[in-house]
Every structure is written in C-alpha cells, then in structure tokens.
A and B are shown apart, each in its own frame.
Chain A
Amino acid sequence: MKRTPTNDQDLYRTHNPSTNDKIGFRELIAIDFFLLGVKGTDTTVPFFYEFAGNAAWLMPLFIFLFILPFVLLVSRLLARFEGKNLLIISEHLIGRPLTYLAAWVLFLLGMAATVLNTRSYTQMTGIMFYGRTPLIFLYAVILLATAYVAYRGLETIGRVASLLLPYALFSIVLAFLGVYDIIDYRAIFPLFGQGWSVLPKTVTHLGFVVDIFYFALFAGLLKSGSRTYQNATLIGTAMAGIGAMGLIFMYTGVFGYPAVNQVLFHYQQLTRIAHYGQFINHIEAAFLGTWILATVVHFAIYIYTMVYLLHYLVRAKDMFRLFVPIVAAIFFAGLYPYRSEKLFFTYREWIVWALTATVYPYLLLLVLLSRTKGGKKRARKKTAYT
C-alpha cells in the first residue's frame, strides 16, 4: 500500500523526543536570513552589478518590493488551508498529477541550483583560503558537514540558524568597522546606476530569492502556521535584504565602481582588507569562521528541502534514508568541470530564469484557484498566536 502524505506529523521521524518538531517565529527569521543574506557574499553579487551598475546596493530593496505581494499571497493561501503544506494544498487544488509535475520541476531545478552553489562556495573557500587542499576533498568535507546538520532535521537547522544569527549580524558590522576608513561612499553615485534597464532584468531574475517560497513546503511544521510564515518571512527577508544591502554598499565603497566588476569573491576580498588600527590586520580567518558556518546552515536548508521533495515524489517511507543518495548526487554532479567562471555564470543564469518562469506562475495559479476552490475563507482572522 502506498502512503500518501496527508498528515505532516507522520512524515518526520522524531529526532528530539523532548520537543514538538516544529519551528517557530525566531527560527524561521534566522533561516530566512541565512537563505537570502548569505547571497550577499556569493556569486549573486556580480549579477547585481551587471543589472544595476553602481546602484547594485539598492537591488535587495528592489527585489524585496517585488516579492512582497507574493509573500502576502502565499501566506493568504496557506491561511486558507491552515496546517497543510504547499504540496497538499496543491494536490487539493490542481490534482495529484500536476502537483507531481510541479514537484519534479521544483526538485530538479532546486538540485541544479544546489549543485552549482555548493560547488561555487567550495571554490571560493578553496581559492581564497585552502590553496593546496584538493577541491574534491574540500567539497566532500563541506557537503558532509552540511548534510549532517540537515540530517538532524528541520528543528535542528532552525536552532543552529537562530543561534548563529547574532554572530552573522555582528560579523557584518565588524566588517564595516574594519573597512570604514577606506569606504568612499561617493562611488554609489550616480544614484540610479544603469537606470530603467534594471527593471526587466530584475523581473526575469526573481528566481534568486525563490528559496523563501520553497519554505512554504514546510508550512505544516510552523508554530501558528501561516501567521508565522508571513511575519517571519517578511522580517527575515527584510533583515537579509538590509544585510545584503550593507555588504554590497561596502563592496562598492571599497572597490569602487566600475573597478568592482573585476572583483570575484567580494566578501572574501573585503575581509582581507578589513583592519582595526595599525596592528590588527590580516584577520580574514576570523570572518571565515562565521561565514563558513553560515554557509553550512544555508546549504543544510537546501539539502533538507531537496530530500523532502524527493521523499514526496518517490513516496519513501522514511525520508531520512534519502539523504545519502541526494548528497551523493550533489557531490558527483558538482565535480563537473566548468573550465571557466564565465560558464558557471551562464548556468546559474539559466537556472534562475527557469526558477522564475516556473515557481512564480505556479504559486499564482494556486492562489487564483484557491479563491474558487474551497478552503476556509477569511481564515487568517481566526488564527491567533498560541
């Protein structure tokens, strides 16, 4: 007999018997911060510079305005079907076959993105800090650490994230203090950078922040359900956006525009420059510590999401057995040689396009259908924090 995921509580093996296996407001804020804020330190930044020129630091704000209605719509959708996750809602609204199709697309694109990103973070670490360690080995170690955190389950990820959040915020502030004296804030002018041409490019690349909608998959595991989703996502995304804005402002101020276009690994190069007074300098290793932990949390969420999707697709009894194949697949796919950084950016852009083209219409479709097809009307008013 095939099991169908109807009740979320069945799906998750209890790892921490003392708790309820749910994550709350604080954890979700931290998770959203690590999903999006870390993107201010990786290969997303060059895209922003390409789109907006010296106004790249305004891009997070711009994107936030774009996804704001989506967050509100999705949380409204979740409120109508309180306690259910996105896939179950989707099955109810568009039927099982179409939901399967959507889940496959989400899974494959998510995998591709995870492969590219893990690989790129490994390369970043390898080139900047571990010159002699083989990339394969570094990749394996980072993936193992990430998979371990992910394997402990959503609650652990949430805890790790919320514990780490103050340190991550502090390290951004610390980086700012370290480069304060060499920032030339005039590099952000002309204020609007590349002008209106940024608009279509932003719309087609909204896939950069699609991660927070992947999190609607775990709506059933949130304390106070959709209210938590909406508020925590908005606050977490805003925090991540402010963090990323601060980071990109620093990159522009320190490296200068257009010179920043030649910089790769902005965050790492920035922390190499950071110094405090005459004698405290060359302390990039201190920043590496926080950053690598943030990276681990970042990818732990990805891997957990991928495992969850695959578990839904193949209807596995125990989703925790799927960790090994997923991590192995990511590892071997990540070994694919790109030969050039340029090609990497091309692939990344394709995936982002595909994510934009599939996830947002899919969500819109669900939201539209939910107005005609059942669910609790005005459910949000009845739900309160418990």
Chain B
Amino acid sequence: MLAKKQLTLKLFFPLLLLVFLSGCWDKIELEDIALVTAIGLDKGSIPGRVDVTLQIMNAQKAMISQGNATDKEPDHINITLRNTTPVLVKDQANAVITRRINISQVQAFLIGEELAREEDLYNVIAAMIRDPEMRRETPVIITKERAETFIDRNRPKFETLIYAFYRFKFNRWKETGDVPLSSVNDYLRAHADQAPYLFIYATTERKKTKAKGKGDDTTAGHMEIEGGDPVEMIGAALVKEGKMIGTLTGEETRFALLLAQNLRIATYYLAFPDPDDKPWMISTRLKNETPPTIEVDLKGKRPRITVTVPLYVEVLSIPSGVDYVADITLQKKLAQYLEQTMQRKFADLVEKAQHTWKADIFNWYRFVRSRFLTWQAYEAYDFPKRFPEADVSIRVQLQMVDFGKQMRPQDKLPPFKKENR
C-alpha cells in the first residue's frame, strides 16, 4: 500500500514540474535578442509597400565597459529592408542580423515626409499596431528627409545609446511645447474622431535660413543654430485625413497646444520687441497655470467659439532699460502691448487653421461633444465640416506676476546705448 502511494507521488512530481516549467516555453534570453530602438518607414518603389529601417541597439554596450570584447563593436546598426511591410520585417531582417528581433522596446517610429504626404498614414500605422509586441504609446516622428537617412545621420554627441536620445528629447518637449508629443495611440484616436493630428517634425538637414531673427517661429531645419546634435526637432507636421498637408512652426505648435487646453505645457519663454524702445527684445516667461476656458455656442447658424486665455507673465529681462518695474503706467502699457501681440498671434493661427488647412488643429471638437446628449446628435451636427466657418474669438487675459529676481533695470543707462541707437 505504502509503496503504491510512493510510486504515485514519484509520478506526480514530474507532472507537477510540467506545469511550472510551462512558463519556459516563451523564455527569452537577453543575450538572444536584438532590441530595436527605432523603426523608420519610407515610401517603397512598389506602390503599397514600404521601406523599413530598423535601428538595432547593441545591448551589450549598456553595461559598464571594462575593456571587454564589445569595445570595438558599433553602438547600433541600421538596416533597411526595401519594398516590404512593417510586420514581415521581424523575420526577414534575420537574413542579416544574428539574433531574434524584438520590437517591444521601440522608442520611436520615424516616418518620411514623402510617405506621409503620399500614402494613407493611417493604414501604415494601423498595420504596425496589430502586432502584439508593438506598443500604442510609442512616439511618432515625421522626418523631412527619408526616415532611412534620418536614422543613419542621427548620431547624438552625448548619447552613446540611442534610446536615451529619444527618451530625453521627449521629456524636454513635455515642458516646452515646441513640439507636440505625438504617439500612435493619440493618432489612432484623432483619426477615429475625424480630427487632424500634429506629429513631431524633425530633420537632419540643417540649412542656413534667409529669414532672420525668427527664434522658434520656424520649422525644423531652419533654425538659426550652429553646432549641437545633427537632429533638429521643432514644430509639427499636420496630418489630416491620413495625409500630411502642412507644417507648423515651433511657436504655432505651442499656441495650438495651448488653445487645445493641453495642460502638458506649463511655462514657456517668449521674446517681444520692446514697445517703448523697438530694437530691444523683452524676454518674458508666460505661464498658463490655469487652462484656457473654451466656450462653445452652437445655437446660431455658425458655431461660435470663445476662448479666454489667462496668462501669467514674468518679465525676465528688459535690456532697453525702460523702468517697467516701478512705473505703473509703463507697466500697463507693456501689459496691453503683450496682450495685443498675443491676441494677434492667436488670431493669425486660427485664421490659418480655418482657411489654409481647414482643420480643427485645436481639438475643439472635444468641447463641442459635451454640448450633445447622444452620439447621433453629435454626428449629425458634423463639427469637422463646420469648423472652417466657425466664429472664433480669442481673448487674452494677461496678468503681470513678477519681474524675475532683480529689482529694477539699470539705474544708469550705460553710455554706449543712447549713442549707438
């Protein structure tokens, strides 16, 4: 009897092991995988196919180097597969790559402008996201040149491991808003809502620009900056109905995000010509601590949208030496001037959105939605069609907060200033 029980137990334990070992079916050794950092998509020479570029990171470099064999290996390698589809790539790439391709740690999708302008972007992205390994929160960048070229030239000076480049870059944009934080998830969402979408716009083709003194009011590739990393990332690519139709400058992107009540931006720096002393620029920090209020009135024939933007201004530098700090009348004048300037800039952007692009880049449809009780009523109203003829008024409510940590501008103007004017 006892022997029989023992035998049963002896048989039982191997079976039990079978259950626990089943987790090993999907085991992946870290050594065994090639981690893809970025995927680039370009128009292929056959219609409907794309050229896919994989940037594969050398994971062994992530360890602190102690003079081992990997020292001579490159940090990452790029391979381009022509006329294929994003899903097929994982297996095809192994023709030239030794290890199993893993795309679950991809930091960014890069899409060439040519592809974005000519093919249906939605189909391209939706085809990729079906793969369970893909992540919906992955950022998407539209590159001015071919994504292949972009990836090849993108060798940041400080970041040995390329994934850190994307990580830190996006983290910074969260605060400045010069670039929209575009992700696959948000794009699919906007597409289903029939809304346009702003993608990050970047390039490695940095040119000398003719327009001077524009600051961040330029698109990627036209900034007046020398040196730095090869990649210039500023502004946004506007995609409407699956096709890219235009670009926004850095400043326009900021305003679009601000008016969309996108809270991810907290403060940003802007410079204005001094109203009292034209050639000098006043540097200010604008804070939108409280989001703009957006009121939608759908009673009339045309939708009326009233946006009130409360802005808190910190004046950080007054190189002209005009004493705005102590003089209340001058302060009022400055506030009025800033208000008007901002209002004009906003109005220009709205005008552009309504008449040039005919696209609701401010996502105001989100505020129209809450005016309806049922989905059918909202669909029947068809806001995307009505947006171009909407009556938009934007008011800026400006509040001077402080003048930085200095008391007043120079008590005595330096002598060279008055003379050299």
Contacts and interface: CB of A to CB of B under 8 A. Distances in A.
Interface of A: 53-54, 127-134, 137-138, 141, 144-145, 181-182, 184, 186-187, 189-195, 254-259, 261-262, 269, 272-273, 275, 278, 282
B124 to A, nearest CB: 15
Interface of B: 19, 22, 25-26, 104-105, 126, 132-133, 135-137, 167, 171, 185-186, 188-193, 264, 366-367, 369-370, 372-378
A259 B189 contact: yes
Given A273-B135, A275-B137, A192 B22 contact: no
A195 B367 contact: no
B185 A192 contact: no
A189 B193 contact: no
Contacts, number: 94
A189 B22 contact: no
A284 B133 CA distance: 12
A130 B378 CA distance: 41
A273 B184 CA distance: 11
A272 B135 contact: yes
Contacts of B185: 182, 254-255, 273
A195 B375 contact: yes
A261 B369 CA distance: 18
Nearest to A274: B137
Contacts of A129: 26
A132 B23 CA distance: 11
Nearest to A193: B375
A190 B19 contact: no
A137 B137 CA distance: 31
Contacts of A275: 137
A208 to B, nearest CB: 22
A193 B191 CA distance: 19
Given A278-B171, A282-B105, A190 B375 contact: yes
Given A182-B185, A184-B366, A189 B372 contact: yes
The 5 closest A-B pairs by CB, nearest first: A256-B189, A259-B192, A195-B374, A189-B370, A133-B25
B369 A189 contact: yes
Contacts of A194: 374-376
B368 to A, nearest CB: 9
Given A273-B185, A282-B104, A193 B374 contact: yes
B25 A259 contact: no
A258 B369 contact: no
Contacts of A254: 185
A144 B376 CA distance: 47
Contacts of A256: 188-190, 192-193
A190 B26 contact: no
